[in-house]
Amino acid sequence: MATFVSGRVHVTVPATSANLGPGFDSLGLALSLRDSLEAQVTAAGLVVEVEGAGADDVPRDESHLVVRAMRAAFAEMEADPPGLRLRCHNVIPHSRGLGSSSAAIVAGLALARALVAGGQLLLDDDALFRLAAELEGHPDNVAPAFYGGFVISGQEGGQWYAVPAGVDPRVRAVVFVPPTPVATEVARGLLPDAVPHAEAAANSGRAALLVAALAGRPEHLFAATRDFLHQEQRTPAMPESLALMHALRAEGIAAVISGAGPTVLAFSGGNHLDLAGRVPAGWACHELDIEAAGVVLGPEDSR
């Protein structure tokens, strides 16, 4: 029978941007917005406290995504805590294409592992990543949320894989976050079942170029972020986002839809992007670094 650590455990986990233009369901990047979560095993019951982004919308019961991830990890470790208390301070915007659900999943798995004595032996990093990918259904956001940095991920022979790749220190990102969310399921539902071979080939070339551009040739980011597979098809769900993306690209700025949208991400490869005047009314704008660290287990939250 598993035993549990006493006291609270604390983790932080980064926002992520997937796809990055042509890297559909395969490329993901961690960004310097971090949610902070804290959990402890209690004598009985479940208490969920949430503040910050999404606090008015998320449940406070077993259906909370972090709790669901924690339960999945406990099951893998054959652990059954008598009670739980979870505290979430959310910074990552919800349903905006910045990986809030992946952050919740990765954080929940990491919290559960940290609460079990010897949890690292019972659920190692590879197993935790695989479980995160299974819970999310695809690995492009959970991989950078767990490992940090820029990660190429996918599935081969029924097995999930994640391969970290380098990022030039000159590369930064500016994200434009609209006030209205778009559900991932809605955005995915607009995608066609098939695309022309020529477009698929062009997209493959851009994705390969993007890996090189991020690694050390940021002058190629504009060409490398050209997408042929999914962004234009999602216009009906986020017309304002596509309009902003096109306006930025018309000025030579490497702009993409972040994940399933509707956030727009613009890359800077060392040149300063003064985009303050381009923020639509009601939108938020964040200048972000590429976050080298994924989920981090740290000291108890002092708040």
Which structure tokens are listed for 102?
């992946």
In which element (H, E) is residue 285 found? strand 284-289
Buried b (16+ CB within 10 A) or exposed e, 236-249: ebbebbbebbeebb
> To which H or E segment does residue 143 belong?
helix 142-147
Of residues 170, 189, 161, 176, the one with CA closest to residue 257: 176
Distances (CA, A) of 113 to 46, 174, 248, 301: 18, 33, 43, 18
Question: Is 98 annotated for ligand binding?
Answer: yes
Instruction: Name the nearest CA neighbour of 5 among 303, 273, 302, 297.
Output: 297
Residue 100 annotated as binding?
yes
Tell whether 95 is in a known binding site.
Answer: yes
Instruction: Tell me if residue 120 falls in helix, strand or coil.
Output: helix
Residues 6+ apart with CB under 8 A from 243: none
The answer to whether 26 is annotated as binding is: no
C-alpha 166/C-alpha 107 separation (Å) is 24
123 labeled binding residue: no
Tell me phi and psi for residue 131, to 5 degrees: -65, -40
65, 139 contact by CB (below 8 A): no
Q: How far apart are CA 2 and CA 4, in angstroms?
A: 7
Q: Per the annotation, does 27 bind a ligand?
A: no
93 is in an annotated binding site: yes
Q: Is 46 annotated as a binding residue?
A: no
Sequence ranges of the binding site: 93-103
Sequence ranges of the binding site for ATP: 93-103
